[in-house]
Amino acid sequence: MTTPGYPQGHALLIGVANYQNVPRLPVAVLNDVQDVAQTLSSPDHCGYSPVNVVTLLDGQATRTAVIEALEILASKVGPEDTACVYFSGHGAVLDEATFDSSFLLTVDSDLANLPTTSVSSEEFAKALTKVGSKKLLVFVDACHAGGASIKGGAHTENARYFKSGYSEATFAKLASGGGRALMASCRNNEESAILRGARNSVFTAALLAGLRGAANKTGGDFIRVFDLFDYVSEKVPNTIPDDQHPVFFAERVEGNFPVALSRGGMKSAGNRRPPTANAAPDWAGLEEALVDLYPSGPKDQEAWSRAGGNLSRLPFQSTGAASWHAALRMARQGGGGKVTFDSLLAVAQNDFENNPALMKL
């Protein structure tokens, strides 16, 4: 029997290492794009249709080509489709004092004239708003220069020095909008590391492992957005202790939406084992249920405090779904005080006695 794919998945993957006018980046940048494309389109992993996975590498990734590719993506993606946009290369901050404007540097970018030779964060964000999907995930693997200044070559004698990378304000701008999330390789004062001799950057190596099944802790059929970030955000600091921390931004994301099929190892439907009496708590299932039952977040109906939690310890999030995700992640890591899987489930079952999702848990 033929295994079904994930035809609703679409991806635009951009990588620039060999710039015309600014310092080059390691070949791992190009490997990253090619390997993400292969993983997404593989029937053994994510199941995207190969025709829905578009790559722009080096000379293909001009300012004009990137803008056109974003427009084509917007024209193909429906509201219930999943769309991924991945960029690996240089970013540049125009005003280091205010961090107001950042630029995605395309292969033909000239630091003497960034507004017309690169893609500004405003242009990038505007292009993303045209993608009508409620499941849009942007990956940015930049800051490879470690936050150092960058300057153009001989043809940019009037160029100023610019801070490399992106500001957090830019990340938030790119993630703004319903159903849109952004995952960046590191904080704006950190380097996106590429280890000596490694094929991929540390961030993308973790991303690839997550997409290939490691991010699916429950054995379900999909790799989901919050689970993917959880995996990457734990894996990267384990590889680069204290030096690199992926960041995640999301606004009005409705639930832990699927990014791709999960067919890695035990996640394959044919290999999945049924749960046993000693199975680990299904935190992902609990999160999905709580987001549905308490859409305003842990404060809704005082669910968190009734389960033994302290609301003052919860980090602020812009949406109920994001608030639940952050709260449950803290609880799983032992920082939730008296809150446990069982105490949360008990509160929810008391409020919604016959809810089928809770009964499964």
- According to DSSP, residue 153 is labeled -
Report the alpha-carbon distance of residue 55 to residue 34 in Å, rounded. Answer: 8
According to the model, what pLDDT value does residue 270 have? Answer: 38
The token pair at 72 is 């084509």
193 to each of 103, 186, 316, how far by Cα in Å? 20, 9, 29
According to the model, what pLDDT value does residue 314 have? Answer: 73
Is pLDDT of 44 > 80? yes
9 to each of 46, 133, 274, how far by Cα in Å? 9, 10, 28
Helix, coil or strand: residue 215: coil
Report the alpha-carbon distance of residue 215 to residue 193 in Å, rounded. Answer: 21
Q: Which carries the bigger pLDDT value, residue 352 or residue 138?
A: 138
Is pLDDT of 149 > 60? no
Contact between 192 and 185 (Cβ < 8 Å): yes
According to the model, what pLDDT value does residue 144 have? Answer: 54
Report the alpha-carbon distance of residue 171 to residue 87 in Å, rounded. Answer: 13
The token pair at 75 is 């024209």
Mean pLDDT of the chain: 81
Contact between 128 and 138 (Cβ < 8 Å): yes
pTM of the model: 0.71
Q: What is the CA radius of gyration of the chain?
A: 21
40 to each of 12, 46, 47, how far by Cα in Å? 11, 5, 6
Report the alpha-carbon distance of residue 13 to residue 87 in Å, rounded. Answer: 6
For residue range 279-311, what is the model confidence (pLDDT) as tens digits? 578 888 888 888 888 888 888 788 888 888 777
pLDDT level of residue 219 (50, 70, 90 thresholds): confident
Contact between 242 and 341 (Cβ < 8 Å): no
Is pLDDT of 177 > 80? no
Is pLDDT of 176 > 90? no
